[in-house]
Amino acid sequence: MPELPEVETLRKDLLVFLKNKRIVDLSIKLERLIKSDLKEFKKTIKNNSFKNIRRVGKLMIFELEKSDKTLLVHLKMTGQLIYVSQDSLVAGGHSDSSSPEFSENKYSKLIFQFSDGSKLFFNDMRTFGALKLVDVRELIEIINKFGIEPLQKDFRLKSFQKIVEKRSLNIKALLLNQNLVSGIGNIYADEILFRAGVRPDRLSKELSKSEIKKIWQSTEVIIKKAIKERGTTFNNYRDARGKKGNFVKFLKVYGRGGEKCKKCKSVLNKIKLSGRGTVYCSVCQK
DNA sequence: CCTTGTGTTCTCCG
DNA sequence: CCGGAGAACACAAG
């Protein structure tokens, strides 16, 4: 599941690969993923190029050279953006370990072809992904809905405290709400709360100032580390080269329900919280 | 049946 | 009764 660290890793790599390359062809295998008028979409993308790639939360923002509109790409659960250079395409084989694991396959729903012979594959197994062209007004409207973002200047303790203080939902649901805090998904929510020593089912408004501070600090530490490790590949996520993220080695609780806590050796609890699988340690988290 | 990100819809409460 | 908050549902496929 691509969350902030995965999308940020992709953004940085894709910017290097794609910047100012002319898109000579666009192949759309599943029209449902395009949330704009299809004719307009094709017309706008073809012969255009990406002049910059930005990101808000888990949303990628592709700025176009020859249009006032902007391309938004959301990977949702299983979306991938895999870049393959002409050299790799000519070589053809994906047999050696350095070649992309996932390039063109039955899940390739969109294929961008560039003038230098390289290709960008939008692969999506569960097809929740979304691509949309928006004008400046709509872009601002969408961006404004996102909450404060870890690693951005507005992610200050005071702002975070204000969001957490008076809300009557559990702290995990708060962390997952993109309108309050942006970029955190199920993996990092569990990891952040483990590091902070706070149970995910604690009511937001009942947390002490020091607990709020610990969650705030842990958010920065975990997200930073995850970006440094190029994200988490639990099952589906791949980077722009088709490679896995390394943060899975550092997961303390996510996906470890029933296993022993790495800190205290007691068995980790697994519960359902706001409809999401949630793992925590009842000894280390209070 | 399970998995999850998000938009929509429903329900509750002051 | 209105509005907002929060929870529940829908979506999809392996």
Determine what percent of chain A is predicted with pLDDT higher than 70. 96
Taking the CA of residue A168 and the C1' sugar atom of nucleotide B14, their distance in angstroms comes to: 14
Of these residues, A11, A55, A58, A172, which one is catalytic? Answer: A58
Q: Are A44 and A125 in contact (CB under 8 A)?
A: no
Average pLDDT, chain A: 92
Taking the CA of residue A169 and the C1' sugar atom of nucleotide C5, their distance in angstroms comes to: 9
Is A58 marked active-site?
A: yes
Nearest nucleotide relative to A57: CA against C1' = B5
Distance CA A270, CA A34 (A): 37
Instruction: Give the mean pLDDT of A93-117.
Output: 75
Give me the pLDDT at residue A86, please. 87
Is A109 marked active-site?
A: no
Give A158-177 pLDDT, tens digit per residue: 999 999 998 999 999 999 99
Q: Answer whether any strand C atom is within 7 A of the Cβ of A178.
A: no
Is A211 marked active-site?
A: no
Give me the pLDDT at residue A95, please. 43
Determine what percent of chain A is predicted with pLDDT higher than 90. 88
Give just the sign of the alpha carbon dihedral A141, A122, A234, A271: positive
Q: How far is CA A182 from the centre of its chain?
A: 10
| CB-facing half-sphere around the CA of A100: CA atoms within 13 A | 26
Distance CA A146, CA A140 (A): 10
